[in-house]
Amino acid sequence: MNSISGKKIILGVCGSIAAYKSAFLLRELQRADAEVRVVMTPSAANFIAPLTFSALSRSQVYMDMFPEKSTSMGTWHIDLGLWADAMIIAPVTASTIAKLAHGIADNFLTSLVLALRAPLVIAPAMDVDMFVHPATASNIAKLMERGVHVIQPEEGELASGLSGKGRLPEVDTIMKYMNDFFLGYHRDLAGKKVLVTAGPTQEPIDAVRFISNRSSGKMGFAVAAAAANRGAEVRLITGPVGLETPQNVSRENVGTAEEMFTALERNVDWCDVLVMTAAVSDYRAENIPDRKIKKDEFAGGKASVSLVENTDILKALAPRKGNRLFVGFALETDNVIDNAKRKLKSKSLDAIVVNNPRVEGAGFGTETNKVTIISGRDESQTDLPMLSKYEVADRIFDHILTLH
């Protein structure tokens, strides 16, 4: 779905070797039917001519705060700030990031950002040492706390010849981000702190083996991404999965159910909303030798491992719930709704999201899910159609907001 169509977008360009990619980005945004105005910093003009952008956008390029031939009142930065649905600065340099973090308005672009009413997305591009410098890191953190969306730079070869994090992502990646951004973009979770768990846990049975389950973590990562896109501050505690951390989400990796429990105990007081999508192992091995168990340790071709029950994390956290909203997930193959309702009550939840992995397109590893949300207030059911996991996550937050 093209969510960029019809949007009024300001494309900001700073002085980076990656500025040439902005011309391609402009073309792609226009191809997606966005109306684009280009704003450059004076140093960007050292890398790419304003004429390139004015020819491509068939519009004037804004760069000078006080253009010599101007006949206007000099309030374009205010006018543009009101006009836009969103602004994206790609590439943004360490210097402009620092100015934005401190509210410095010393050129057209930085002044415009102060006057901007629409959301701001920035895509940093710089040398790896500049990117990881504590000054840049703290400036970016400051902007994120203020709700600025950051498209993380990619790892790779840099203009300096060094290799590391700092490359502007390819135009396709930025376009996908902008599409997701407009799809899931509401600021209705701004100021909320959302804690999400995802993935399976792994319970070792010896030094090299473990018991686990098929959870891919996709649902939990979608929940974290949707919350972040809607303006929440998001912490994600995840079991072992092969997924990239969503934008603007802080992630902690855990292995076992006990580690997940410990991480949640540390974070639960911080949150307003807890969404437990993790497929926590109910049992762990009673004894875990710190060596590999040999095949012939078991007699008669039969092996057994003695298991003991893990803590039920949601139940254990219930006394610390206070005004927080707790949302659980349930995977049920039989008596789906009845079982989910039982869990809703026994785990003191405000809502439970249930799915049946026997339904095609639902459950482990798929990109889609088909769920029912049961409200803790009155046990009312909301049956959602088959949706992408991101859209399911969005609908869960729509529901959570009705509970608040």
Give the binding range for ligand CTP (CB under 6 A) out of 25-33, 112-120, 286-294, 323-331: 323-331
Give catalytic status of residue 287 as yes or no: no
Which structure tokens are listed for 402? 């009705």
DSSP run (H or E) holding 47: none
| Nearest CB to ligand CTP, comparing residues 39 and 257 | 257
Q: How far is the CB of 201 from ligand CTP (least distance, A)?
A: 8
User: 267-306 mask for ligand CTP (x: CB under 6 A)?
Assistant: ---------x-x-x-x------------------------
Tell whether residue 330 is a contact of ligand CTP (CB under 6 A): yes
Minimum separation from the CB atom of position 256 to ligand CTP (A): 11
300-322: burial string, b at 16+ Cβ within 10 Å, e else:
eeeeebeeeebbbbbeebeeeee
Amino acid identity of residue 211, one-letter, is I
Cβ(12)–Cβ(99) below 8 Å: no
> Which residues are bridge partners to 88 per DSSP?
11, 121
- Regarding 310 and contact with ligand CTP (CB under 6 A), the answer is yes
Binder among 92, 128, 234, 331 for ligand CTP (CB under 6 A): 331
122 DSSP β-pair partners = 89, 150
Q: Count residues near ligand CTP (CB under 6 A).
A: 15
DSSP 176: H
Residue among 26, 48, 195, 313 that touches ligand CTP (CB under 6 A)? 313
Minimum separation from the CB atom of position 378 to ligand CTP (A): 20
Give the C-alpha separation, 339 to 80, whole Å. 54
Structure tokens at 280: 């926590």
312 lies in the site for ligand CTP, by CB under 6 A = yes
Question: Measured from the CB atom, is 136 or 310 closer to ligand CTP?
Answer: 310
Cβ nearer to ligand CTP, comparing 56 with 316: 316
What's the N-to-C CA distance of the chain in angstroms? 30
For 2, counting Cβ atoms within 10 Å of its Cβ (0-12 exposed, 13-18 middle, 19+ buried), the class is middle
- Residue 223 in the binding site for ligand CTP (CB under 6 A): no
Asked if 121 and 178 count as a contact pair (C-beta separation under 8 A), the reply is yes
How many Cα atoms sit within 13 Å of 378 on the Cβ side?
5
The nearest distance, CB 260 to ligand CTP, in angstroms, is 8
Distance of closest approach, residue 396 Cβ to ligand CTP, in angstroms: 12
> Which range binds ligand CTP by CB under 6 A, 114-122, 131-139, 185-193, 322-330?
322-330
Applying CB under 6 A, among 76, 182, 329, 390 the residue interacting with ligand CTP is: 329
- The window from 37-45, 152-160, 307-315, 363-371 that contacts ligand CTP (CB under 6 A) reads 307-315
For 226-266, the DSSP string reads HHHHTT-EEEEEE-S---PPPTTEEEEE--SHHHHHHHHHH
Which two tokens mark 147? 């709700």
Catalytic residue among 213, 253, 267, 339: 213
The distance of closest approach from Cβ of residue 214 to ligand CTP in the complex, given in angstroms and rounded to an integer, is 12
Q: Which residue has the tokens 């790896």?
A: 128
Residue 198 DSSP code: E
Residue 315 beta carbon to ligand CTP: minimum distance, rounded to whole angstroms: 7
Among 26, 65, 314, 351, binds ligand CTP (CB under 6 A): 314
Length of the chain, please? 404
Helix %, strand %, coil % of the chain (to 5):
35, 25, 40
Candidate residues 257, 351, 371, 392; the one interacting with ligand CTP per rule CB under 6 A: 257
* Stretch of residues binding ligand CTP (CB under 6 A), selected from 12-20, 73-81, 310-318, 368-376: 310-318
Catalytically active residues, by annotation: 213
- The residues binding ligand CTP (CB under 6 A) are 257, 276, 278, 280, 282, 310, 312-314, 328-331, 343, 347
